[in-house]
Amino acid sequence: MSARLSPLSALLAAVLLVALLAPLRNGGEGTDETGVDLLAATTNRPTPGSFTGYGFDQCNAPTQSAMDSWTEHSPFSAVGIYISGNSRACREQRNLTPTWVARQLSRGWHLLPITLGPQASCSTRYPKYGRTIDPKINPDPTNSYAKARVQARTEADRAVTAAKALGIVAKSTLFYDLEAFDLGNSTCKASALWFVHAWTNRLHELGYKSGFYSSAGSGIKMLDEAHRNTRSTLTLPDMLWIARWDGKANTAVSSEYLSATAWLPGGRVKQYLGGHNETWGGVTINIDRNFLDIGRGSVASAETHCGGVPVDLGSYMVLRTPTATYTPLPGRVRALQCLLTEKKLYAGRIHGRYDLATRRAAQAWQRSKGFPTSSTWGRRDWVSLTSAGTNPVLKFGSYGPAVRRAQRAMNAAMPRAGVEITGVFDAATAAHAGAYRRQIGMSSYNIVNSATWARLQAGFL
């Protein structure tokens, strides 16, 4: 077959190319009217990924303005969203769009997509809308509950279709919500178990991971019994979301419901507090609270700077021009030279001497920040330099290079704090963030949000 295009094919190809490139013409960025990257929907990361920290769920996906406020002020980094299922109460989901999904993922949220379809055959709360609209799980035991398994595969197909339409990509975990039921009803339990088995198998076939939400005393206990049955051939979900309203922000559950090591490590979410109002950034939402410990958890990769120069210091001391009686510590100077090298302000050898070339590079940084230039490199300079870069909102469970920058900057701003520079925003780092914010006159949220970054990067002490 000839590789040459006909004139008509060439014309069509050109039109297609123009259409594809059109969104990229405005300053080289492809964004819609809300500023969201139009390519994000095809490059979204699988969700929820790896994370240890706080989340919330609410029936209707919050508005974007509400999510913006909660991004900046709340402790939450994960949110549950109902994407499919005829038995769900919030079926319209007017706020839930591909743009909404892409924006939350780009801002670091971990999404927990939920399906609430057929419920247990012995449930007294369902069907919600009528047997023809949201039937219960078929309890017919014929051929290993074949009818229940057909229902489950249908729900998995619908969930994946809904997920793809929203930009929730393959390898993401989709959760099935099976509300509380009578575990003592053997037929009801068995049909529910086979349903979950088929739901999981079908999701795996379609390239997604299987999640399962239920109360600790019914659906979770049912799966734990199957997990402990070594002769069982049932396929069980990859991740559990346990409803246990004990008020404890962890993933621990009594062994009466779930074996101590089941779905560990990295396979548990716990809904530990039921419906209540919370207000963050002036926005009130009625939510359930969750704690997640999923995937690898919150783990930061190692960093290397300037071929191995240590820049993670316990304290960032003031540096002055050397004299006959004073020599700046070489380790601190090497850290400064390395950081200035990364900012393309210093091009010399990283030798640890606070020489003229180093001082000139330091003064170039001071000028770039609008600070008075000086041969002395002070705490304010350290805070601004160590925090320089992007400013994603950081809160409990965040991890990565931005966390390390914030930890370095807080060590520079609070010399006695002793912030451990790990790249993980753990409870200790959160407490230090709150202390820093109080030190500079801000409210004591234990997060590093946009306003906090602005002050760090301006060298506030």
Tell the burial category of 325 from Cβ atoms under 10 Å away from its Cβ (0-12, 13-18, 19+): exposed
The C-alpha R_g of the chain, in whole angstroms, comes to 27
Residue that is written with structure tokens 């960025």 in the block: 29
- The phi, psi pair for 184, rounded to 5°, reads -80, -10
pLDDT for the residue numbered 444 = 87
CA atoms within 13 A on the CB side of 123: 24
At residue 148, the 3 state secondary structure works out as helix
Q: Which amino acid is at 214?
A: S
pLDDT for the residue numbered 139 = 98
Per-residue pLDDT of the chain (461 residues; tens, 9 = 90+): 333 334 334 433 433 333 333 333 333 333 333 333 344 445 899 999 999 999 999 999 999 999 999 999 999 999 999 999 999 999 999 999 999 999 999 999 999 999 999 999 999 999 999 999 999 999 999 999 999 999 999 999 999 999 999 999 999 999 999 999 999 999 999 999 999 999 999 999 999 999 999 999 999 999 999 999 988 899 999 999 999 999 999 999 999 999 999 999 999 999 999 999 999 999 999 999 999 999 999 999 999 999 999 999 999 999 999 999 999 999 999 999 999 999 999 999 999 999 999 999 999 999 999 999 999 999 999 999 999 999 999 999 999 999 999 999 999 999 999 999 999 999 999 999 999 999 999 998 999 999 999 999 999 99
Reduced DSSP (H G I as helix, E B as strand, rest coil) percent helix, strand, coil of the chain, to 5: 35, 15, 50
pLDDT for the residue numbered 35 = 35
Query: Is residue 209 within a helix (H) or strand (E), and if so which, with residue range?
Result: strand 209-215
In the numeric block, which tokens belong to residue 16? 């297609």
3-class SS string, 411-429: HHHCCCCCCCCCCECCHHH
Residue of 49, 61, 108, 102 lying closest to 269 (CA atoms): 49
pLDDT for the residue numbered 41 = 47
N-term to C-term CA, the chain: 71
Structural domains of the chain, ranges and CATH numbers in brackets: 44-294 (3.20.20.80), 330-457 (1.10.101.10)
pLDDT for the residue numbered 230 = 84
